[in-house]
């Protein structure tokens, strides 16, 4: 049986995570992950909360969204969607990625191939990753229909 992790992603606007997770932003651009891990603690930028939950914009149902606003250009932002990758004492048994994707104004399915992956212990079922370097002006992504098939 072929197993795929599938999802639909639509690009919309400024740096806001529509899933309502708490996010933090450095006062200055963060260095790439490998550089941050090697930097002494006193050089690391101080993190501050972006916005309280009460200040979050009202969200529209995803079913009503058909296209992104005209001011967003296709391929303007780059993200990575993946599953697994949790390490440590309770590490995931596998990981997989769809690689770097450039979002468009239309809903599009991005499958992650899980054929021949050991899915016996997965706690990191899905995540998306972006960086300041790939998206210096920020980004908003909308996710829908994330499922294992």
Is it the case that residue 2 has pLDDT exceeding 80? no
User: For residue 139, is pLDDT > 50?
Assistant: yes
User: What confidence tens digit (pLDDT) does each residue in 103-114 have?
Assistant: 777 788 888 888
Give me the pLDDT at residue 93, please. Answer: 93
Q: What is the pTM of this model?
A: 0.47
19-64 pLDDT, tens digit per residue, is 333 333 344 444 444 444 454 555 556 665 555 545 545 544 444 4
Between 136 and 19, where is the model more confident? 136
> What DSSP assignment string belongs to the chain?
---EEEEEEEE-SSSEETT----EEESSPPPPHHHHHHS-GGGSPPEEE---GGGSPPPPPGGG--S--TTSPTT--EEEEEEE---STT--S-EEEEEEEE--SS-EE--EE-TT---SS-S---EEE--TTT-TT--EEEEEEEEE-
Residue closest to 32 by CA, chosen among 126, 134, 119: 134
């Amino acid at each position: 049986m072929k197993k795929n992790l599938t999802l639909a992603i639509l690009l919309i606007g400024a740096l806001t995570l529509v899933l309502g997770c708490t996010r933090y932003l450095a006062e200055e651009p963060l260095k790439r992950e490998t550089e941050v891990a090697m930097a002494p603690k006193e050089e690391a930028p101080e993190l501050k909360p972006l916005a309280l939950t009460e200040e979050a914009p009202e969200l529209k149902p995803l079913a009503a969204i058909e296209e992104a606003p005209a001011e967003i250009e296709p391929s303007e932002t780059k993200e990575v969607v993946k599953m697994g990758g949790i390490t440590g004492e309770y590490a995931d048994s596998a990981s997989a990625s769809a690689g770097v994707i450039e979002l468009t104004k239309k809903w599009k399915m991005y499958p992650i191939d899980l054929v021949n992956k050991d899915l016996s212990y997965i706690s990191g079922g899905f995540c998306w990753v972006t960086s300041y370097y790939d998206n210096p002006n920020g980004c908003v992504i909308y996710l829908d229909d994330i499922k294992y098939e």
